[in-house]
Chain A
Amino acid sequence: MIDIVDQKIDCERLLQAVADDACGAVVLFIGQTRRWTGEVFTAKLNYIAHEAMAKTLLEELRTVAIERWKVSHVAIVHRIGEVPVGEASVAVAVASPHRDAAFEAAKWLIDTLKKDVPIWKQEFDADGKAVWVHPDEKASI
């Protein structure tokens, strides 16, 4: 299951999408908005996407993950629009017979999503000032 939503991410839905009694392991990664980045206070985030391309790429990532780690199911949901601090902006669920593959695939999926999927966040500070985040390739987040 691949989806881009503009409301709270439903983790139950993700888990249902990967449910399979042949799988002994389910890994669920949730990326959520942090309050502080160094000394910078975040009041909220706003996400936008080039939706058609983002969905296409997320589908490709899912296909690659299944092929490469032989996991059984992958579900990815990204939220767009305003995301309050502490709420999930992305969730990745992977189910496989055994856990090693599920952990590795889930890590690769979120790492690759953060590098390549056309989604951008805008950070709002306490005064309502907003800045689009465009990280340097070499910078570590």
Chain B
Amino acid sequence: MSHDHPIQVMLFAGAEAAVGKSRIVLGLSAPAAIEQIAAQMLQEYPALSGLLPRSRFAVNNQFVNNDHVVKSGDDIALIPPVSGG
């Protein structure tokens, strides 16, 4: 079996502020569905409970649905409600 590749998620704005980090490493390895990743994030970082349910996920710079399965090496980002413009 290959080594564990723990899933990492990039955080921005209010999410980064809530956790105090711009990148979190989860106790979960790929492959995993976004749904599982979200649940794991809430468990490990309860400070995200306010923003996470209102946020979307992006994998490799594209928005994905909750059933999207993340592979080892994918770039994952939590995208809280945006406020550009």
Contacts and interface: CB of A to CB of B under 8 A. Distances in A.
B61 interface: yes
Given A48-B12, A50-B58, A56-B61, A133 B77 contact: no
Contact of A134 (B10, B81, B85): B81
Given A53-B62, A122-B13, 8 more contacts: A50-B79, A52-B61, A57-B61, A114-B84, A118-B84, A119-B85, A120-B13, A134-B83
Contact of A117 (B10, B14, B82): B82
B77 A50 contact: yes
Interface in B28-84: 51, 54, 58, 61-63, 77, 79-84
Contacts of A50: 10, 12, 58, 61, 77, 79
Interface string A104-136: 000000100111111111100000000011111
B17 interface: yes
Contacts of B12: 48, 50, 118, 120
A90 B51 CA distance: 25
Tell me which of B10, B12, B13, B14 has the highest count of chain A C-beta atoms within 10 A of its own C-beta.
B13
Contact of B81 (A49, A90, A136): A136
Nearest to B58: A53
A48 B54 CA distance: 19
Contacts of B62: 53, 56
Main secondary structure of the interface of A (DSSP, over half): mixed
Contacts of A114: 82-85
Interface of A: 31, 47-50, 52-54, 56-57, 78, 89-90, 110, 113-122, 132-137
A116 B12 CA distance: 15
Nearest to A78: B84
A134 B14 contact: yes
A14 to B, nearest CB: 15
A135 B83 contact: yes
